Amino acid sequence: MKARITLSLGALLLLWSSIACQAQQAQPAPQPPQAAAARPLTKEQQAALDKQDQDIAQVASAIVRLIDQNKSAEVWDQGSPIAKQIISRDDFVKKVTRDRSPLGSPGIRMPMGVKHYRYDGTGNMPAGAYINVLFDTQFSQAPQSSREMVTFILDSDNIWRFVGYTVR
């Protein structure tokens, strides 16, 4: 069992590394704000961004499956240092358990897409680039579907890492 967890986490780390490489290739050279807004992405840049989004959606799917298996502590262990500053391992596990337990077991889970955000640090989110991966999930004890969101942050080493999970 421990070997399976280690293998799963190793596969996640390899996929995260792959995403980091894709992210670095997909990012155009820094532009002034007006120039960046005026220029559309090239076909190559758009293809690299699409590939990055597909890869990160696969990692998000693996994360929710680990959470389904009550392995949220292992998810937190692989998270961004920022995530670990925001919430302790024990508090993260308790929060995920508290949020998920009344819902029952997950059934149909539909991907809803990948969204990119940038925060300047003035609110309750640390400054940085974020990706949210959304799922519409039907749980056995919930009368209607719920929204699961897995959030990644681009860390200072240009690697996308897990930073949060919510279900509503």
- For the chain, give every domain's residue range: 2-28+36-167
Q: How big is the chain by its Cα radius of gyration, in Å?
A: 17
The total number of residues shown for the chain amounts to 168
Top-level CATH class of 2-28+36-167?
Answer: alpha beta
Cβ 83 vs Cβ 166: under 8 Å: no
Residue scoring higher pLDDT (56 or 17): 56
Q: Residue 107 pLDDT more than 60?
A: yes
Residue 29 is predicted with a pLDDT of 39
Strands (E), 60-127: 106-119
What sign has the CA pseudo-torsion 111, 112, 116, 117? negative
- 19, with CB counted inside 10 A (0-12, 13-18, 19+), is buried
